[in-house]
Amino acid sequence: MDEPVDKVYPKENPRFQHQVDRLIARAVLWAIPVWIRPNYVTVLRFVLTPVVILMLYYHFRWLGLALFMAAVVTDFVDGTMARTRDQITKVGIIIDPVADKLLVASVLGYVGFKYLVVKIILAVIVAEMILVAIGATVALRTRGQPAAANVFGKSKMVIQSIALILFLIAGILSLDGLLHFSVYLLWAAMAFAVLSGIKQIRDVYFKRSAS
């Protein structure tokens, strides 16, 4: 059941998060009816992922790029909707990162599998998906709250998305310099993924120690 929960988003830089939410709300949320819930937008990201891959496969690359960018935007929109409209749910906290990882992994694997950093990121995503599944199972059994993304995880998603957008543009326009730059950005995203994992482990350790 799509059960509401308390505010569980990380408390790092709450003022910055509030400003970002206000900006997105003014730019986008005014056009989204209240009856459309954040989880509907997350599901849309699931739906867009295979469509993006199909467009790239059939060489509609500009359309694929546009749809990928639209899918990335939904990641910011659903989070802002959940926070500003007080619609954060356990289901949303679980499926949102899954939708992100499937989108990124699908496009990464399709356009850049020959690169070492892409293979490493894909392996990390698989590990993260397993951890999300375990965390979700524990949360549902214990009626606890699943862990939300931390600031490093959010930064990783932003950097990965920018890198993939540049990667697609570089491939379409045959821009080798931009392609190399996007690969460097993927390495940066990898660093943030490591930091995110370390912070999650640290938080779990201190939470258990406190209890």
pLDDT (tens digit, 9 = 90+) per residue, 68-111?
999 999 999 999 999 899 998 888 888 998 999 999 999 998 88
Specify if 130 maps to a domain.
yes
Specify if 142 maps to a domain.
yes
Specify if 157 maps to a domain.
yes
* Total count of domains within the chain: 1
Specify if 117 maps to a domain.
yes
Take residue 50 and report the two structure tokens written for it: 């295979």
Distance of CA 195 to the CA centre of its chain: 16
Asked if 109 and 73 touch (Cβ cutoff 8 Å), the reply is: no
Specify if 8 maps to a domain.
no
Element (H or E) spanning 63, and its range?
A: helix 61-84
In this prediction, residue 202 carries a pLDDT of: 75
Domain CATH code at residue 148:
1.20.120
pLDDT tens figures, 151-189: 788 888 899 999 999 999 999 999 999 999 999 999 999
Residue range of the domain that includes 26: 14-210
Specify if 97 maps to a domain.
yes
Specify if 133 maps to a domain.
yes
| Whole-model pTM over 0.75 | yes
Specify if 22 maps to a domain.
yes
